[in-house]
Amino acid sequence: MVSRRALMAGSLSLAASLSLAASRALADQLTLPRRLAPGVARSAELASLAGKRPLIRLSHRPPNYETPISYFDGPITPNDAFFIRYHLADIPVVDPAKWRLTVSGGAAPLTLSLDDLKQFPSVEIAAVCQCSGNRRGLSDPHVAGVEWGYGAMGCARWKGARLKDVLAKAGVPNNAIEVVMNGADGPVLDKTPDFVKSLPLWKAMDENTLIAYEMNGEPLLHFNGAPARVIAPGWTATYWMKHITELAFSEKPFDGFWMAKAYRVPIGLFPSIDRFVTQENAANAPITEIMVNSLITAPADGVQLSRGPVRISGLAWDSGRGIVRVEISTDRGASWREAKLGEDVGRFGFRAFSFEAEAAAGSLTILSRASNSAGQSQVAKALWNPAGYHHNVYNSVTVSLA
């Protein structure tokens, strides 16, 4: 394992700083949701990191960059357009040849190299990776945290070994109830809690949960978790541990800060089917699965179009139950008509949709509403919570026609 401290400067040097002229040119292209807090609109800018096209930079250290809506032009998000999310700023560049994964608490300690990991049967799954706080910046009233707009998410084809196969090789103890995960990134200050998470054993042993080393047919990018990361399809990205280096079986609920204090929602507020029961209490529960949602990717909000048919396209997704319907309204929700669903890349992936609306001159507001096979649909009003999680209100864009 490469020293965190020694390589912190090296990892930060991966940030390809733009020239002043280029930054100004990119700023002219930046559009942000109108409902974001004014301070966010003033500070956010388009900027690049190594291997990435310009993304919306909300913070530099730790790096938090979201994908502009215009990049979502299909069900699979290109690697160079994929969002970046970190809690901690010490992010070492890990040499794949020196990377090791340790598994403790089983029948016998296990250590794997990347080559060892690739000896397990490989699986490829298309799955949405979405930050729990995606759209947090749209909360009303506003809440603390990274003020994400719509782009703290992406869908890739992830390839790797099943986590359950790795755990089985280590020997799953009879009394294990959770699997604790840690990655190579860490805090700059010793008093800052390290980002350590756990999964319920049943989710860790699910056939779709992976330790991935490729996305979209290429090795993981540094800022997306290289050389290997956990993939927990259907669940929010807080469990998708980047730069994974340690796994440990636990016979009791893990009580680290990022489980016991953070990433929790009022119990019963959201219609979650998959629960993390060992981490629940009378007041709140850990966030788990993704809520059903949709995003209109074209036309862009605020644009002016020529009078005539308006072609609408977008993406819908959920926790893996499967999108069965996307509806469009052009009369502010008074009536809804069904859109055409596009390619199905898998139940955990984005599902494209399209619709053609007739419109006269003037202003046109378009709403989208997705539903899944479990009978869940987007909501008309956000279920407000202190951390701004699970914002899945009908998506809305307004255009003018002349």
CA 122, CA 165: separation in Å to the nearest integer? 10
The per-residue pLDDT for 361 is: 78
Q: How confident is the model at residue 187 (pLDDT cuts 50, 70, 90)?
A: very high
pLDDT tens-digit series, residues 203-250: 999 999 999 999 999 999 999 999 999 999 999 999 999 999 999 999
Domains and CATH numbers, the chain: 4-81 (no CATH), 100-130+151-286 (3.90.420.10), 293-401 (2.60.40.650)
Mean pLDDT in residue range 174-178: 98
Measured torsion, CA atoms of residues 267, 271, 275, 278, in degrees rounded to the nearest 10: 10
Residue with tokens 């209490």: 281
Q: Of 23-32, 96-105, 128-137, 295-304, give the lowest mean pLDDT range.
A: 23-32
CA 8, CA 195: separation in Å to the nearest integer? 17
On whether the pTM is more than 0.85, the answer is yes
Q: Can you read off the two tokens belonging to residue 244?
A: 């994974």
Question: Is residue 22's pLDDT more than 50?
Answer: no
pLDDT tens-digit series, residues 354-390: 999 988 879 999 999 999 999 999 999 999 999 999 9
Q: How confident is the model at residue 1 (pLDDT cuts 50, 70, 90)?
A: very low
The per-residue pLDDT for 350 is: 98
pLDDT tens-digit series, residues 327-339: 999 999 999 999 9
Vertex 290: Cα angle to 83 and 261 (nearest 5): 85
